[in-house]
A and B are shown apart, each in its own frame.
With several copies, the nearest count.
Chain A
Amino acid sequence: MNPEYVGAVVISGLVIVFLGLILLIIAVNVMGAVFKGIKGMRKKQKPADPVQDSPRVIPMPSEPLVIPQSEDEEIIAVIAAAIAAIGESTGKRLSIKSIRQKNTRSSWAGAALHENTRPF
């Protein structure tokens, strides 16, 4: 192959990959800002809830929800340890209440019942 051709492939390839993913960063940031704005507007309408004053602490218990379905038990143990550690530092007792895997199954059973009522 012509070295110039190789160089063109490499540079344009890298540029486009970065360009594409930077566009996605922008899009996600815009989306996040919009949702923050919506939430902000809603909060103004509600009277401020004193318990919700520390937004960085509250979301933690829901952290396990972001665990991908594919975690095996080893990882779950790691997560549990991590959450426990976080919990200690914030002075709250946190525990894993549910791993997505289970939710999926039980909700699936319910969903099947529901969806079958109007499938095709």
Chain B
Amino acid sequence: MIQIFLDTLADLARSSGLAALQWQNAVMILISFVFMYLAIKKGFEPLLLLPIAFGMLLTNLPLTEMYHPELWNIDEGAELDFGRILHEGGLIDYLYIGVKLQIYPALIFLGIGCMTDFAPLIANPKSFLLGAAAQAGIFLTFIGAAALGFNANEAGSIAIIGGADGPTSIYVSSKLLNAGGYEVEVGTIALAAYTYMALVPLIQPPIMRALTTKKERLVRMEQLRTVSKTEKIIFPIAVTVIIALLVPSAAPLVGMLMLGNLFKESGCVDRLSKTAQNELMNIITIFLGISVGATTVASKIISVAFLKVILLGVVAFAVGSASGVLFAKLMYLVTGGKVNPLIGSAGVSAVPMAARVSQKVGAEEDPTNFLLMHAMGPNVAGVIGSAVAAGVLLSIIPH
């Protein structure tokens, strides 16, 4: 019996995680600690980054069998074998199905729609132009990624980080990076996207100050008109129809965002709206975070490719913000000084932080200048804009 006992213990020692731990895993675990620190102590988008970092931790603890990359890294042209995933998968594989089938980002957009007020955009529809201009960050980053040697699917996934919109980034990258063998994966895209979104208050102000004059920053904008309830109800329906007819592949994101907004504005389905923006979104966020985090295997993070992603990500945010500000300067000129260029940077999305940055930089010059509501227009337009850009990428790049 002692022999069996010793054999069993030896077996267990051999089958322990410590015996199987490689240095890459150890590094990844340390990186996950860094992201947990950023999420908890620095307040970097903790709702997503904390579950993502914990998923990263779990997946790098060897032999836990919670996530199996080999189930998901299929050859190009092959199909996922969902039967095998159910048989051989672990908890995180099951949760990841909702990412792979694009269910989670769409449902999160439903909840965001229930929380978004489009009134500032309806009151000042010209803001849409700023929401469009800021998407230049996406497309110029696409050029950069191509220049750095990424292929089209990788470049599209990296570029969408510039949309400054977490669910959209996950939606696009999980679709474009369907087969295995790419140098980046959903988890790294999500990490970069949420990290840079958290850094918006640091990245944007210097760009905004550099591109504007003091006179421009002092512009006081006209009071926004009141928007009627009926306009708010018609808006989400009209946006759905127009965008889906133009770019059908943007329909899942835009459609769910607008359904959520219709729940909110109709005022007659409050119980659905409340659940969609709270419990449903929280459940999806937990599942999304853990499983997206688990895709960050060591070989994709401890690599030159990841450094390039980090670099391209900050370029994307900077270019997007700058495009927004520059386009707003153009509008300042055309309107004879009625538009404060500081609201342009809010076009990148990152609701409502980018709008608050506009308010804050404006208030530095004139504490009584109230730009927030004017910046909310481009801000929510940016969400629609990046969803459209996502649709374009998905319809152009084969996957």
User: Which B positions have Cβ atoms within 8 angstroms of A?
Assistant: 1, 4-5, 7-9, 12, 45, 47-48, 108, 111-112, 115-117, 119-123, 125-126, 128-129, 131-132, 135-136, 138-140, 142-143, 146, 151-152, 155, 166-167, 198, 223-228, 230-231, 234-235, 238-239, 242-243, 246-247, 268-271, 274, 281, 285, 352-353, 356, 359, 363, 367-368, 370, 372-373, 376, 381, 384-385, 388-389, 392-393, 396-397
**B393 surroundings in chain A (CB, below 8 A):** 9, 13
Instruction: Check B225–A17 contact: CB distance below 8 A.
Output: no
Contact of A85 among B125, B136, B368, B397 (CB under 8 A): B368
**B373 surroundings in chain A (CB, below 8 A):** 63, 66-67
Q: A24-B125, A70-B115, A78-B359 are in contact. Are A9 and B396 (CB under 8 A)?
A: yes
Instruction: Check A68–B116 contact: CB distance below 8 A.
Output: yes
Instruction: Check A14–B135 contact: CB distance below 8 A.
Output: yes
Contact of A111 among B231, B271, B356 (CB under 8 A): B271
Instruction: Check B117–A66 contact: CB distance below 8 A.
Output: yes
**A68 surroundings in chain B (CB, below 8 A):** 115-117, 352, 376
Contact of A17 among B226, B228, B392 (CB under 8 A): B392
Q: Which residue of B lies closest to A71 (CB)?
A: B352
**How many angstroms from the CA of A56 to the CA of B47 in the assembled complex?**
37
Instruction: Check A7–B128 contact: CB distance below 8 A.
Output: no
- Interface-centre pick from A4, A62, A116, A120 (highest chain B CB count, 10 A): A120
15 example contacts (A-B, Cβ-Cβ < 8 A) are as follows A1-B155, A6-B146, A7-B1, A9-B393, A12-B5, A12-B9, A16-B9, A20-B247, A24-B128, A25-B129, A59-B225, A66-B224, A66-B226, A75-B372, A119-B112
Q: Which residue of A lies closest to B380 (CB)?
A: A68
**A23 surroundings in chain B (CB, below 8 A):** 242, 246
**How many angstroms from the CA of A66 to the CA of B112 in the assembled complex?**
16
Instruction: Check B271–A16 contact: CB distance below 8 A.
Output: no
Does A96 reach chain B (CB closer than 8 Å)? no
Does A79 reach chain B (CB closer than 8 Å)? yes
**B146 surroundings in chain A (CB, below 8 A):** 1, 3, 6
- Interface-centre pick from A8, A15, A16, A67 (highest chain B CB count, 10 A): A16
Contact residues of A between 25 and 64, Cβ < 8 Å to B:
25, 27-29, 31-32, 35, 56, 59-60, 62-63
**B359 surroundings in chain A (CB, below 8 A):** 75, 78
**A98 surroundings in chain B (CB, below 8 A):** none
**A56 surroundings in chain B (CB, below 8 A):** 223
CB distance from B12 to the nearest CB of A (A): 6
Residue-wise, chain A 83-96 has the 8 Å CB interface mask toward B (1 for contact) of 00110000000000
Contact of A13 among B108, B138, B227, B353 (CB under 8 A): B138
**A22 surroundings in chain B (CB, below 8 A):** 128-129, 132
Q: A8-B8, A12-B9 are in contact. Are A25 and B388 (CB under 8 A)?
A: no
Q: A22-B129, A35-B228 are in contact. Are A13 and B242 (CB under 8 A)?
A: no
Instruction: Check B372–A18 contact: CB distance below 8 A.
Output: no
CB distance from B160 to the nearest CB of A (A): 11
**How many angstroms from the CA of A70 to the CA of B278 in the assembled complex?**
13
Report, nearest first, the 7 A-B pairs whose CB atoms are least far apart.
Answer: A82-B370, A28-B125, A21-B128, A8-B4, A111-B270, A10-B139, A21-B132
Instruction: Check B388–A27 contact: CB distance below 8 A.
Output: no
Q: A21-B388, A82-B368 are in contact. Are A31 and B235 (CB under 8 A)?
A: yes
**How many angstroms from the CA of A75 to the CA of B274 in the assembled complex?**
23
Contact of B242 among A6, A10, A24, A82 (CB under 8 A): A24
Instruction: Check A59–B223 contact: CB distance below 8 A.
Output: yes
**B247 surroundings in chain A (CB, below 8 A):** 16, 20
Does A102 reach chain B (CB closer than 8 Å)? no
CB distance from B250 to the nearest CB of A (A): 8
Q: A25-B128, A32-B122 are in contact. Are A5 and B231 (CB under 8 A)?
A: no
**How many angstroms from the CA of A9 to the CA of B126 in the assembled complex?**
25
**How many angstroms from the CA of A108 to the CA of B274 in the assembled complex?**
9
CB distance from A69 to the nearest CB of B (A): 6
**How many angstroms from the CA of A32 to the CA of B119 in the assembled complex?**
12
Instruction: Check B136–A5 contact: CB distance below 8 A.
Output: no
**B363 surroundings in chain A (CB, below 8 A):** 78
Given contacts A20-B242, A108-B271, A120-B47, 16 further A-B contacts (CB under 8 A): A6-B142, A10-B143, A13-B392, A14-B136, A16-B9, A20-B243, A28-B121, A31-B235, A35-B228, A56-B223, A60-B223, A69-B115, A100-B117, A112-B271, A115-B271, A117-B352
Instruction: Check B370–A78 contact: CB distance below 8 A.
Output: yes
**How many angstroms from the CA of A5 to the CA of B120 in the assembled complex?**
37
